[in-house]
Amino acid sequence: MLDLTLAKLRLKEKNLTLSIVKGGKVLFETQSHGIIGLLQAIEKLGEKLVESSVADKIVGRAAALLCAYSGVASVFAVTISEEGRKVLEDNHVFYEFENRVSNILNYKRTDLCPFEKLTAALANTKEAYEKIKSFAGSARTSRAS
């Protein structure tokens, strides 16, 4: 649990949105918002994420599915959704959290987060990763045009 403690400490002290630690070493950190940071970590680190510890500001269903897909050993969330908690439990990923909410909302707080909607019916972590990656790519492309 030392890795999780270190990840949590760095998340808070450096005002990050995501910190990933393994074997006492920081593997990845970011201040980017949303699921993008976790996707970037998966793209950059791949199998190095297996047995790592993740501290994330917000863990909903989509983020939990990505953590399970990556073989993460433990997760700390400042805020976790009920669905996120359930996914971590179903995939035997240890987790801690500060706040539990019913749902993760979009930036405007007017509806569910689009990634939560996208993954609502998904249980297969590989399928979830592919859909999230594709959806995030198309969302970035449409914002750039």
**The pLDDT of residue 145:** 42
Q: What is the domain range of residue 116?
A: 2-144
Contact 85, 98 (CB under 8 A): no
* Each residue's pLDDT expressed in tens, for the chain with a length of 145 residues: 899 999 999 999 999 999 999 999 999 999 998 899 999 999 999 999 999 999 999 999 999 999 999 999 999 999 999 999 999 999 999 999 999 999 999 989 999 999 999 999 999 999 999 999 999 988 665 544 4
Number of domains in the chain: 1
| pLDDT score at 138 | 81
Q: For residue 142, what pLDDT is reported?
A: 54
pTM of the model: 0.94
Burial (CB count <10 Å: 0-12, 13-18, 19+), residue 82: middle
Q: From residue 80, how far is each of 112, 122, 137 by CA, in Å?
A: 14, 18, 24
| Whole-angstrom distance, CA of residue 81 vs CA of residue 89 | 12
Q: What is the CATH number of the domain that holds 103?
A: 3.40.140.30
DSSP-derived secondary structure for 40-93: HHHHHHGGGGTT-EEEEEEE-HHHHHHHHHHT-SEEEEEEEEHHHHHHHHHTT-
Which residue is associated with the tokens 């590989």?
126
Interatomic CA distance for residues 37 and 39, integer angstroms: 5
